[in-house]
Amino acid sequence: MNTRVLTNPDAFRPVIQLSIHATNKVGRLNEIISLFKTHDIHIIALSILDTTDSSLIRTIVDYPEEAQYILDSNKFSYVSTEMIAVELNSEADIARVTSALVQAEINIHYIYPFVSRPNSRSALAISLEDNDLASETLKRHQLNVLGQNDIAR
22-31 pLDDT, tens digit per residue, is: 988 899 999 9
How much is the pLDDT for 11? 63
**pLDDT digits over 83-98, tens only?**
999 999 999 999 999 9
Q: What is the pLDDT of residues 95-143, one digit of tens each?
A: 999 999 999 999 999 999 999 876 778 999 999 999 999 999 999 999 9
Q: Which one of 38, 61, 81 terminates a domain?
A: 81
Q: Are residues 57 and 109 in the same domain?
A: no
pLDDT tops 70 at residue 57:
yes
CATH of the domain at 135: 3.30.2130.10
- The reply to whether 43 and 87 lie within a common domain is no
Give the global pTM. Answer: 0.88
95 with 131, same domain: the answer is yes
Q: Which domain holds residue 96?
A: 83-151
Indicate whether 70 belongs to any domain. yes
Of the candidates 46, 81, 116, which is a domain's last residue? Answer: 81
Count of the separate structural domains present in the chain: 2
Same-domain status, 118 and 72: no
> Which residue, among 131, 28, 144, 46, has the nearest Cα to 90 in the 3D structure?
144
Closest CA to 126 of 47, 71, 72: 47
- Is 5's pLDDT higher than 80? no
- CA 31 – CA 43 distance, rounded (Å): 14
Distance CA 44, CA 117 (A): 6
Q: For residue 118, what pLDDT is reported? A: 63
What is the chain written as a DSSP string?
----S-S-TTS---EEEEEEEEE--TTHHHHHHHHHHHTTPPEEEEEEEE-SSEEEEEEEES-HHHHHHHHHHTT-EEEEEEEEEEEESSTHHHHHHHHHHHHTTPPEEEEEEBS--TT--EEEEEEES-HHHHHHHHHHTT--EE-HHHH--
